[in-house]
């Protein structure tokens, strides 16, 4: 084998090795990218589920507020008095609320 043939063969092997390495790196990077895409799709799926639940809840609450507003405007219900608000803020049970209101009425007579 002449020096020229040897150099050509070495150059050919070098090129094949470089191509093999490039292909190996490409496959590794592609695999990593596919894994990352799967992770991101999973995260997006979870975020969409959370957002969907939030949007449904928000819609229900908005409808509830609108209905209460309609009832207030039509006179079907009345706003709380400051005493009633205080009772609700304290978080008394229904029986306790009745007793407090009854005592207030008796004191007011």
Q: What is the pLDDT of residues 1-45, one digit of tens each?
A: 788 888 889 899 999 999 999 999 999 999 999 999 999 999 999
Q: How far apart are CA 19 and CA 15, in angstroms?
A: 6
- Domain spans of the chain? 3-78, 80-109
CB 68 within 8 A of CB 77: yes
Are 83 and 104 a contacting pair, CB within 8 Å?
yes
Averaged pLDDT for residues 75-86: 71
Q: Output the pLDDT for position 90.
A: 62
pTM (2 d.p.): 0.47
Helices (H), 1-109: 3-74, 82-90, 94-108
pLDDT digits (tens, 9 = 90+) for 22-33: 999 999 999 999
Q: What is d(CA 77, CA 84) in angstroms, rounded to the nearest whole number?
A: 14
């Amino acid at each position: 084998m002449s020096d020229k043939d040897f150099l050509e063969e070495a150059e050919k092997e070098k090129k094949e090795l470089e191509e093999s390495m490039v292909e190996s790196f490409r496959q590794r990077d592609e695999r990593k990218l596919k894994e990352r895409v799967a992770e991101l799709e999973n995260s997006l799926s979870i975020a969409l589920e959370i957002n969907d639940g939030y949007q449904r809840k928000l819609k229900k609450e908005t409808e509830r507020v609108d209905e209460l507003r309609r009832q207030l405007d039509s006179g079907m219900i009345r706003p709380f008095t400051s005493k009633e608000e205080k009772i609700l803020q304290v978080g008394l049970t229904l029986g306790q609320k009745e007793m407090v209101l009854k005592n207030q009425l008796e004191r007011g007579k």
